[in-house]
Structure 1
Amino acid sequence: MSISYSTCKNCEKQFQSRYDFCPYCGQKDREELTLSLLFSNTISNYFSVDARFFKSFLPLLFRPGYLAEKFIGGKRLLYLHPAQLYLFISVVFFFLFSFSTRKQIDSVNSRFDNFFSPTQVTNSSVSGKGTTDSTTLEVLNTNKEKDSIAKTELRKVLNDNVFLTGLTQKQVDSLIETEKFKNNSVLSSSFNESKIDSLIAAKASDHEIYSAMGLKETDGAFKRRLYTQGLKFYKSKQGGSILQTFYDTIPIAMFFLLPIFALILKLLYYNRGRYAHHLVFSFYYFAFLFSVFTIILTLNFIMEIPNWVVLVITLSTFSYLLIAIKHFYRQGLFLSFIKSGLTAFLFLALVIPITVIFLGLFSFMFY
């Protein structure tokens, strides 16, 4: 009795024709690609992932450390892979976040334009006695009122995104002080604005303007880039473009921040498994964080949540970290509290500020 063989179209290996599926790669043999097959496979694959997602999502929210423990223990098909779960939730978060930032960026552009626009005073006169007429006072009061509104709106934008920017309240207050902001900005600290305005109005070359700004022929590439971006910003007055670049780099930065978080855990629990084990824990914890932020964003689309509520929810993520560490690493409450506190401190006080400074510089240099 002869045995017939078929060749798999996917992996190109031979197998006995009596099998309907390739024993090497699992693809079905002799299956014609029809429209119904294409869509049925798509829907089937989607709901297969979706089912595992929901099977993983509830434990992720309500059972800290459970998924990481099960994955390390060998249950790696029952729940969604930690990296896949993290990627899916982070993509959803940044997708929703992009809608909320659009309005903020437009608002920042408008406020920056008000900050750097020269004060327009029409029909004003100053008498010989040194008094200003009523038209001048009216215009000055109007400008002062607009400036106050600009400060209030910019403060709100910065406060609403403090969990991403990492700015302290003191830094926010410093930034929105108009005179302090202008006097210390890269735009006005090293050159005369009136002279630069005159050169721009005369359509002078960028090389001439750079020289007026203080750039020397001997200056290096970094400083030249700084002046290039400074002039670009001075001409456009579009601070929102820098903010947009900052937001766009956050997802990329997370691919570096997450492994650093896992490294901190590895240093604190150096004898508790391989680095990959701590990375699994970090993937699930950051997936939880993005889940919380996604819920906050979603609720904000429906109704405006008070800032104190957002702050309380954000701070509660530390309690989740404490319970997750206690459950996953199986240590006492006191040691878990010390190590989770140390992890949060090192990450928030050292890693995040350095990252924010770097991203801020990167955003300005490449926006």
Structure 2
Amino acid sequence: MAKRRRKFVQCPNCGYTFEEVNNYCPNCGQENHDLNVPVKHLVEEFFESTLHYDTKFLRTLKYLITRPGYLTEKFNRGQRASYVPPFRLYVFISLFFFTTVAVFASKNLVMSDTTSASERLKTTDPEAAARILQADSLARMRVGFTFGDTAAAPGDTTGLIINEEVDNKFRSFLENEEQARQRLLKNISFMMFVLMPFFGFILYLFYRSQRRNYVEHLMFSVHFHTFVFLLIMFAILLEVVFPRISTEEWVFLISTVYLFFALRYVYKESYLVTAAKLLPVGFVYLVSLAILFVTTVGISVLLS
């Protein structure tokens, strides 16, 4: 959709006299577009230009959901004007995704330690609280001595000191549950942004015989992760409405089926070859996701 311009006769920045064809000032580069209009027009332009509020966004969303790989194929062929650019679509959907997670699912990120559990039990079951504290102390001593024995000579307290520092960091991280959730969500959003180009690199390795540019694989990864965000967001909202429903297995199954058909559509290989490549691609991706997630949690704790 072409932008509707409200053109000046003269450039308000440098005074250059415009010709009808000038969309930008040839002298200073300022856009020839009057923004001194009612707020309603500015809001309409915002939705039109940045969020693609118009039919282009709805068309893109429809093909993203119903035709795996279609948008990637169109982008790689250069047929891009009719659809929202991949990164703009990803940013728009991810904003809603992380907002949904923060509002409805972030409580699942809260972890409780043995100290808080024992404190709650003091008023109800003092004996149970004492057993929890004793077990926690013994466990930390065993870990500390094991670390000390393997890293240095017997009796070295290095392991105990390091273990105590990590334990203190962990407890400090849990003291403020809201801050812990926000830190995790922020770091997880960054983790997903790192994972996206890495998944593109995985595809580049597995499909290097097709001699495609890395950007083509990256666009596949962007579209795939955008769909997964939409799917998880829908699953979270479904569990909010129907609390007894568990959607984790369905999210994994639908994502796997979607990935299979997207790979088949974009890379034009047989169903058998696509299925054979899906297994190692999926395995490497899941291992990478697990490593990145553990690393993200560790960094969140250490930086708390």
TM-score range, shorter chain: 0.7 to 0.9
Q: 1:14 to 1:365 in 2, by over 3 A?
A: same
Please tell me the residue identity of whatever aligns with 2:175.
Answer: Q
In the TM superposition, 1:167-186 aligns within 5 A as: 183-184=138-139
Aligned to 2:234: 295
8 Å CA contact 2:169–2:301 kept in 1: the answer is no
Aligned to 2:153: none
8 Å CA contact 2:201–2:217 kept in 1: the answer is yes
Q: 1:254 to 1:105 in 2, by over 3 A?
A: closer
In the TM superposition, 1:1-367 aligns within 5 A as: 8-9=11-12, 16-19=18-21, 21-22=23-24, 27-28=31-32, 31=34, 33-34=36-37, 36=38, 38-47=39-48, 49-51=52-54, 52-104=56-108, 108-109=111-112, 112-117=114-119, 120=122, 139=125, 143=128, 183-184=138-139, 189-190=143-144, 214-215=160-161, 228=165, 230-231=167-168, 233-234=170-171, 238=175, 240=177, 242=180, 244-270=182-208, 271-307=210-246, 309-348=247-286, 350-367=287-304
Once residues 312 and 28 of structure 1 are traced to their aligned partners in structure 2, the CA distance between those partners, rounded to angstroms, is: 51
Q: Deviation of residue 227 (structure 1)?
A: 5.0
Please tell me the residue identity of whatever aligns with 2:242.
Answer: M
8 Å CA contact 1:113–1:238 kept in 2: the answer is no
Q: Deviation of residue 140 (structure 1)?
A: 5.8
Q: 1:32 to 1:231 in 2, by over 3 A?
A: closer
TM-score, normalised to structure 2, is 0.76
Once residues 289 and 76 of structure 1 are traced to their aligned partners in structure 2, the CA distance between those partners, rounded to angstroms, is: 22
Once residues 330 and 85 of structure 1 are traced to their aligned partners in structure 2, the CA distance between those partners, rounded to angstroms, is: 25
Please tell me the residue identity of whatever aligns with 2:232.
Answer: F
Q: 1:274 to 1:305 in 2, by over 3 A?
A: farther
Please tell me the residue identity of whatever aligns with 2:214.
Answer: Y
Q: Deviation of residue 84 (structure 1)?
A: 1.0
Q: 1:363 to 1:54 in 2, by over 3 A?
A: same
Q: 46-55 vs 269-278, which deviates more?
A: 46-55
Q: Deviation of residue 105 (structure 1)?
A: 5.6
Once residues 75 and 292 of structure 2 are traced to their aligned partners in structure 1, the CA distance between those partners, rounded to angstroms, is: 30
Once residues 353 and 32 of structure 1 are traced to their aligned partners in structure 2, the CA distance between those partners, rounded to angstroms, is: 48
Q: 1:63 to 1:182 in 2, by over 3 A?
A: farther
Once residues 55 and 355 of structure 1 are traced to their aligned partners in structure 2, the CA distance between those partners, rounded to angstroms, is: 33
8 Å CA contact 1:115–1:178 kept in 2: the answer is no
Please tell me the residue identity of whatever aligns with 1:33.
Answer: N
Q: CA RMSD in A?
A: 3.7
Once residues 188 and 119 of structure 1 are traced to their aligned partners in structure 2, the CA distance between those partners, rounded to angstroms, is: 25
TM-score, normalised to structure 1, is 0.64
Once residues 15 and 213 of structure 2 are traced to their aligned partners in structure 1, the CA distance between those partners, rounded to angstroms, is: 37
The number of residues matched between the two structures is 278
**SS, match of residue 78 in structure 1:** coil
Taking only the aligned residue pairs, the percentage that are identical comes to 21
Q: What per-residue deviation string (whole Å, max 9, x for no partner) do you get for residues 231-257 of structure 1? A: 354478638455553333110011211
Aligned to 2:148: none
Aligned to 1:165: none
Q: Deviation of residue 116 (structure 1)?
A: 4.4
8 Å CA contact 1:15–1:22 kept in 2: the answer is no
Q: Deviation of residue 103 (structure 1)?
A: 3.8
Please tell me the residue identity of whatever aligns with 2:267.
Answer: Y
8 Å CA contact 1:116–1:237 kept in 2: the answer is no
Q: What per-residue deviation string (whole Å, max 9, x for no partner) do you get for residues 119-172 of structure 1? A: 648xxxxxxxxxxxxxxxx9468x48xx9xxxxxxxxxxxxxxxxxxxxxxxxx
Once residues 190 and 50 of structure 1 are traced to their aligned partners in structure 2, the CA distance between those partners, rounded to angstroms, is: 57
Q: Deviation of residue 28 (structure 1)?
A: 3.7
Q: Deviation of residue 104 (structure 1)?
A: 3.9
Q: 1:326 to 1:19 in 2, by over 3 A?
A: closer
Q: 1:114 to 1:6 in 2, by over 3 A?
A: closer
8 Å CA contact 2:106–2:181 kept in 1: the answer is no
Q: Deviation of residue 297 (structure 1)?
A: 1.4
Q: Deviation of residue 351 (structure 1)?
A: 0.7
The structure with the larger Rg is 1
Q: 1:78 to 1:278 in 2, by over 3 A?
A: same
Once residues 76 and 248 of structure 2 are traced to their aligned partners in structure 1, the CA distance between those partners, rounded to angstroms, is: 33
Aligned to 2:3: none
Q: 1:119 to 1:313 in 2, by over 3 A?
A: closer
Aligned to 2:152: none
Q: 1:313 to 1:53 in 2, by over 3 A?
A: same
Q: What per-residue deviation string (whole Å, max 9, x for no partner) do you get for residues 54-90 of structure 1? A: 1111110110000000111112221011111111111
